[in-house]
Amino acid sequence: MENLNSPNSGPAQPAPQQPQEKPGFIMLLKASFQVFTKNWTHFLRLTLILALPFILIGGLLFMVAGSKAAPKVPGAEPIVSETIEESAGADAEERTIGDIIETIEASQEEGVVEATEKSLEEDLAIDDLGESRLIDEAGLVVGDDSIDAMELGVNTSISKSAFLTGILAMMAGMMVILAILAIPLMLYYLMAILAMVRLAVLASQNQEIHLGEIIKWSFTKLFSYIWLSIIIGFYLGWPFMATVVLLGVFQAIGLGNSTTILSFIMGAAALIYFIVVFPRVMFAQYALAELSTTAKEAFSASVSAAKGHWGKIVGYVLLFGILTAVASGIVTYSLKWTHEVGYILNTLLSIFFSYISVIFYYGLYSLCKIENESKT
């Protein structure tokens, strides 16, 4: 029987744990794609819900503008632009463009349009398909189906004119509405951003998602988010505001000519300050969405999470920006798309990366916060 008191008979010792590798940029980006892949329907639905008011307003304005921009048939002669083609036919009597122009001008002066058309029909050889046409410098079509061509040009010109008029009217109406509803729309826009951040937080934490509750929560936290934005704005922008005020004072007392170097130094110092302190506050909205707290506490949580991680935050932001720029460049310029298709794909890609960025930066905030907590 084995001796229970022997040194080898003690309880089994746990195996030493291998130190876990800290998540890097690639791992964090991969995790962000996984979160989005799992919850992409929620992001798309929330986007459509939040964009619905703007879609309805734009559609209503387009309908109103289209009804007011009904095409009116002008009494003036239509002008159809086409490429000059040589008349076909082996037995055709050739005439120069100058002769045709002189004939048209002479007939127009006498007011005999029918004589001009008859003369041209006799002198020009038209093939069986009726495709050869001669055009004067003013754009007048001569040949078979000329009346149809001119009517087609009139209809096309009117259609394009009506469409452009509708677009311009819609844009003008949107500008008026934006001017009237600037503050409500800005509040709604901030609420939409906060709702998207809240969705990214819940999706990253693998929690149950209800879009109605997310929108309701965003409305309740809207003024906290506004106050947080004001705090961040003053925190980041006071050097720039101080620079503008000081330069204005120097200009008022007659020292404006000698402040060129001073303005450059103060502007450079303000820019350096912004680069140094921005990583401290870039997580504030994520802290607000995660902790559902006040603006002041969210600001403090962001500063605390970013402490000691300035290089990582700046590096990850730069890498993510380069990645999105390269992907957009490939879609827009490298691939052989038409201009319209490239524009549509680039827009869709921008929306996609906006989703990924929200998830990615929340993951970066969580990573920095966990690392700081592990040190204490």
pLDDT band (50, 70, 90) for residue 341: confident
To which residue do tokens 């048209």 refer?
A: 104
pLDDT band (50, 70, 90) for residue 52: confident
Q: How far is CA 210 from CA 217, 232, 351, in A?
A: 11, 30, 22
- Note the maximum CA span of the chain: 134
User: Would you say residue 283 has pLDDT above 70?
Assistant: yes
> pLDDT tens digits, residue range 1-40?
444 444 444 455 544 455 455 678 999 999 999 999 999 9
pLDDT at 62: 67
> pLDDT tens digits, residue range 108-139?
555 544 554 555 455 544 444 444 444 444 44
Region of poorest pLDDT, from 82-91, 101-110, 167-176: 82-91
Give the tokens for residue 276.
Answer: 């140094």
Q: How many CA atoms lie less than 13 Å away from 153 in the CB half-sphere? A: 16
The residue that leads in pLDDT, 310 or 245, is 310
pLDDT at 21: 58
Q: Tell me what the pLDDT averaged over the chain comes to.
A: 75
pLDDT band (50, 70, 90) for residue 93: very low
Q: Where are the domains of the chain?
A: 25-51+183-375, 74-154
pLDDT band (50, 70, 90) for residue 246: confident
The residue that leads in pLDDT, 89 or 343, is 343
> pLDDT tens digits, residue range 205-229?
999 999 999 999 999 999 999 999 9
Give the tokens for residue 69.
Answer: 């921009």
The residue that leads in pLDDT, 173 or 141, is 173
DSSP lists the bridge partners of residue 142 as 134
